[in-house]
Amino acid sequence: MDGNHWKELPRMETPRMWLRALRLEDSDDVYAYAANPRVAGGTAWEPHANRGVSQTVVEDIIRHYAMGAYFCWAIEDKRNRRVIGTCGFDGHWDLRDQRARLAYVLAQDYWGRGFMVEAAQRVLLFGFEQLGLHRVTARCLADNRQSERVLQKLGMTYEGMLWDHVRIKGRFRTVKFYGMLAHEFLAKASRNSAGEDFVLG
C-alpha cells in the first residue's frame, strides 16, 4: 500500500454524488449536518456549537491534505452541490499489513436512502484497487443501527463486539467491529458490474 503516491485527493464520481477534497467554503454545509445531535450521536465528537467549530474542523482536514496522503472525501450531492457528509479512511493505517479503517458521517436528511452505501462502495473500490489494501475494517457503536446497516449492505463481515470499549461524552460505549478482504469486495464488484446492486462510480 503506497498512500504517499497520492499527493492530492482524487475526485471520484458515483451516480448521485461527487467525492472530492473538502474546501474551506464547505464549512457552512458541514455545520448544517454536524450541529445535529442525532448525527453527532453516533460519533465521538459533540454537535458543532457554531459555524466556527465546523470551520476549524475543515481547516484541520485541509492541513492534513497538505501534509501528504489523507483520504477523507467530502460527499457532494450532484443535484444541489451541497456537502452532505464525509467518507474515507481514518488515521488507523497499517502499511505492513495493508490495512485501513473506513469512517463516515452523513446528514440526517439522507439517511435510509442508500447514499452512504453508494459513497462507501466507491471509497472501498479505490482502497482495494488503487491503494492495494488487503483488508478494511470498520466499527460502530452497538446501538447505532443506521451505521451497522451500512456496513452490512457493503458486505462486510461482523467480527465481534467489545463491551464498554470506548468512553465517549462521559459514557462507556460498546462497539461492534466489521471487516472485509480485498478478494471478497472485488469478487462482488465483478459480479455486479452490470449495475444490478453495486455502484462502481
Average pLDDT, the chain: 91
115: which 3 cell numbers?
447514499
Give just the sign of the alpha carbon dihedral 88, 89, 95, 97.
negative
CB-count burial class (<10 Å; 0-12, 13-18, 19+) for 135: middle
Higher pLDDT, 29 or 200: 29
Asked, for residue 170, whether it belongs to a domain, the answer is yes
Q: Mind listing the pLDDT tens digit for each residue in 23-43? A: 999 999 999 999 999 999 989
199 within some domain:
no
Helix 182-191 × helix 115-129 angle, to 10°: 120
Domain assignment of residue 201, yes or no = no
Whole-number pLDDT of residue 79: 97
Mean pLDDT of 6-28: 94
Task: Give how many domains the chain has, as a whole number.
Answer: 1
pLDDT category at 2 given cuts 50, 70, 90 is: low
User: Would you say residue 199 has pLDDT above 50?
Assistant: no
β-strand pairing of 72-77 with 17-20: antiparallel
Q: How many CB atoms lie within 10 A of CB 80?
A: 8
Structural domain boundaries enclosing 35: 3-191
Strand ranges inside the chain, DSSP E:
12-13, 17-20, 72-77, 83-89, 99-106, 135-141, 157-168, 171-181
Q: What is the pLDDT of residue 194?
A: 38
The verdict on residue 118 lying in a domain is: yes
pLDDT for position 93: 79
Phi, psi of 132 (to 5 degrees): 70, 30
Q: By the 8 A CB rule, do 150 and 116 touch?
A: yes
Average pLDDT over residues 148-154: 97
**Dihedrals phi, psi of 105, to nearest 5 degrees:** -150, 145
Grid look-up 472485509 returns 180
Q: Is the pTM of this model over 0.75?
A: yes
**How many C-beta atoms surround the C-beta of residue 127 within 10 A?**
25
Q: Is residue 196 a part of any domain in this protein?
A: no
Q: What is the DSSP letter of 47?
A: P
- CATH classification of the domain holding 143: 3.40.630.30
Nearest to 8 by CA among 62, 58, 85: 62
Dump pLDDT digits (tens) for 51-100.
999 999 999 999 999 988 899 999 999 999 999 999 999 877 787 899 99
Grid cell listed for 167: 468512553
> Is residue 197 included in any domain, yes or no?
no
Count of residues making up the chain: 201
Q: Is residue 50 part of a domain?
A: yes
139 has pLDDT over 80: yes
